[in-house]
Amino acid sequence: MMLEYLIKITINTFYMAIPVALLLAIVYTADNSGGKRYVSLGFFLGLASAFIYAVLKRNTGWAIREYYDLGVLIPSLVTGVPLIAAMPLVFSEKMGRRYQMALRALIFCVLAGGTAYCAPNIMLYPFEFAVGMDTIFNTEFMFRVIGYAIGLLLIYLTGFALYRVASHLRRGALLAAWGASHLTLLAFEVLTIAQILLGRNLIPRYRWLTKSVIWMLTHVNLFVYILMTLSVVSAVLLYARLKATKPFGENPAQVRRMKYTARRQARFCASVVLGVIISLLTVTVGVTYSNRRVELSPPVEFPAVGDSIVIPLERVSDGNLHRFVHKVQRGSSTVDVRYIVIKKNDTAYGVGLDACDVCGPSGYYQRKGQVVCILCDVVMNTSTIGLLGGCNPVPLKFSIDGGNLVIRTADLAEEARRF
C-alpha cells in the first residue's frame, strides 16, 4: 500500500535528514571551515557503502545487517561526540590548519557513517514492491511506488527548506539547534548499537541497559518527535527575526529587494512547518490507520438446493454489502469460496467473488455506505460491482427467479482456485 512505504521512508530517513540539513547550513555558511568537499565525499562514501551492502544482501546469504550497522554506527558515534565540542570553532577566524583538518575529518566520518546506515533501506525497499505479485502491472505495485516516491520527496523538501531556514539563523541559534539534533541522533545510535550487541549476546545483559533498549523500541518515534520540534523551533525563530527586522536600504530598490528576501525566507519557514506537520501525521495517524484491523463478520453459508444456491432477494435488498461462503471440496481439502451481494439500485444487484484480479482474495468490507478493498483501501463504485476491471470484485454469474437470487454451485467451484 502507498501509506506503508510513505511511513517507512519517513521514519527511516527523518532522523538523519534534520541533523544533516543543520550541519550543511553550518558548513556552507562558515567561510573558513573548508568542509564543503568533505561533506560531499562523506555523503558519497556512505552511499557507496550502502550500495555495496544492498547488492550483497540481495545476491548473497552472508551479508548480515547487524554487523554492517555496527561497522558504520560505531565510527559515526566515536567521531560524533568530539564533533559537538569542536563545531563552535567552525566560525572562528583564528582556527589553525590542523584544527581545520581535524574538523573536516570529523564531519566526513559523521556524514559517511550516518548515510551508510540510513541508505540501505532506501535502496532495498523497491525490491519489496513486487513481492507476492505475478505482474507489476497492477494498482498495488503502483501505490507502493507512489508512497515510496512521495516519502522521499517529502523528506528532501523538508530537509532543503530547513537548510535554507537554518542558513539565515544567528550563529548561536544555529549551533544550538544542530547540537540538540546531533545529540538526539547520537542517543539513537547508542541505543541501536546496544540493541544489536544485546541481540547478538556480545555484551552482558545488564538490567538497566536492557530496560533502556526496550524503552527505545517502545518509544522509537520519540527521537523523530524531538527532531520535528527542533525544526519547527528553528523556523519560528527565523520568522520572528524577520518580523522584528524592518526593511532598510539606501534606495527603494534595496528596500524592495530586502522585502522580497524576507518573504522568500518566510516561505521556507512555512515549508518547514508544513513538512513537519505532514511527517507528524504520517508517523502518528498514518501508522494508526495502517495498523488498523478491519473486523469482518463471518460470511453466511446458504445450503445448496440441487445444483444452485437460492438467496431470497429480501435478504439482500437493504443496500448493504452481504458476504456469503460456499464450501467447495477439492481433493482432500475444503475451500471456502466467498462471494458478495449488494443491491445497486431499484432493479439491479451487484454479485461477485470476495476477491479481485489485482489484490487477490483479500476481500471487501463496507465503510460509511461504501464498498472498500481491504488490501489497497480503494473505494468501489457501487454501480460497477459485477463488472470486470480494476479493483472490482470478480463478476459472478447469477439469475433472478421470482423473488430469489440464484447462483450455480458449478460457477463457484470453478473459482475455488482464487481462494
Each residue's pLDDT tens digit, 287-333: 787 766 666 778 888 888 888 888 888 888 888 888 888 888 777 77
pLDDT band at 131 (very low <50, low <70, confident <90, very high): low
Range of the domain at 62: 2-290
Give yes or no for a contact between 106 and 79, defined as CB atoms under 8 angstroms apart.
yes
**Residues 269 and 333 occupy one common structural domain:** no
Give the tens place of pLDDT for each residue, 174-197: 999 999 999 999 988 888 888 888
**Residues 282 and 312 occupy one common structural domain:** no
**Residues 18 and 40 occupy one common structural domain:** yes
**Residues 281 and 304 occupy one common structural domain:** no
**Residues 48 and 100 occupy one common structural domain:** yes
Confidence (pTM) = 0.70
**Residues 163 and 77 occupy one common structural domain:** yes
Judged against a pLDDT cut of 80, whether residue 368 lies above it is answered with: no
**238 found inside a domain:** yes
Please state, rounded to an integer, the average pLDDT across all residues of the chain: 84
**295 found inside a domain:** no
**Residues 337 and 280 occupy one common structural domain:** no
**306 found inside a domain:** yes
Task: Give how many domains the chain has, as a whole number.
Answer: 2
In this prediction, residue 115 carries a pLDDT of: 92
**Residues 112 and 82 occupy one common structural domain:** yes
pLDDT band at 232 (very low <50, low <70, confident <90, very high): very high
**Residues 258 and 404 occupy one common structural domain:** no
